[in-house]
Structure 1
């Protein structure tokens, strides 16, 4: 099974990009989809109804959604493997912008809206730095010079990243993304998957540097997949 991780700021067009990925690979890879959000989400219901795929969603509540994703990723992989899915697509809420939710053995996609301002890639640098590709959406709404400035701003964060410009609603320009996903190796051993980078320092076990996926390796505020709907509200 391939692991695809999609992150980006709210309203960037993440789900629109994922919709195009599912449309392309639905017959060959039988994707499963996991949505991670904070309070409410409906994308799983829409994609399940549109494509007939298996979907799930989890709410992070007061826990950072990117940290939530790492907590339950091992459970999610086992869930998707149990369905005999050929691909698991994980969509993060993308609120922090300081975290890099991408893991080893995954293909990481940073979705960035071209209308967010030419300097916005600098503000989202950690989110972009460890991704495999940057998908720039809503390119039909900006001028050519704005697209070029936006592209160079991404390059200033990570020069070698693949940049794909698209109108994600129509799916234009995504063939290079599809080719990269098709070449992505399958997961070899879920027990060896770790975060690609060190998370920001903070108070939870992920924040202080533990990279292992799975709630069994953490303590404090932990979240198994089957109990993820019980939102922790703190004090």
Structure 2
């Protein structure tokens, strides 16, 4: 059962989504509200799996709310303005519904979320006898693959997928960057951009806000710049 929260400052739009949710047996409505602040409070409890989130709201926009909750649950954006689609996908939304929302399009979006949940990759950190994390398992298309921590050069994210790069291969898995970031040892790996996590020992050079690992040049995002340089400060001489 997918626990749903609906937030839209238009009561009619709210009622339509509530009606659609009630028609799908795998969905459970937790709350429908016209208040973005009430929705934010509920989302932060971790009691919902999916938010149907309007973009244009007077108190707090959907994009602002989405940035605050930072991946606590999956989000489907709902709006009458298609120009918000690209920004929404940059923030890892599950889907984007353009108003007026037809039931078949709603159902397609919900099915996509269900598939993501069912196919959620296995990420199992393992610890060596010394207590230091040694490798992880990730689910690829056809198998669960073991990846040694020391082999990872960097990780690149694109929407719901990530690519894990090692000297030997590129491994693609259906996963969020935040989940991968949490699974990796923080003393070795650091998020340097919304789309990149790097292994600190693999960095060859840093110049003009860019990191070089092998032949790859990785940008340092403004949001992550301070945290990155603070983390490597102790290694400077």
- Kindly indicate which of the two structures has a greater share of residues assigned to helix: 1
- Kindly indicate which of the two structures has a greater share of residues assigned to strand: 2
Give TM-score scaled by structure 1 length. 0.36
Give TM-score scaled by structure 2 length. 0.36
Q: Of the two structures, which has the highest relative contact order with CA contacts closer than 8 Å and spacing of 6 or more? A: 1
Structure number, greater radius of gyration: 2
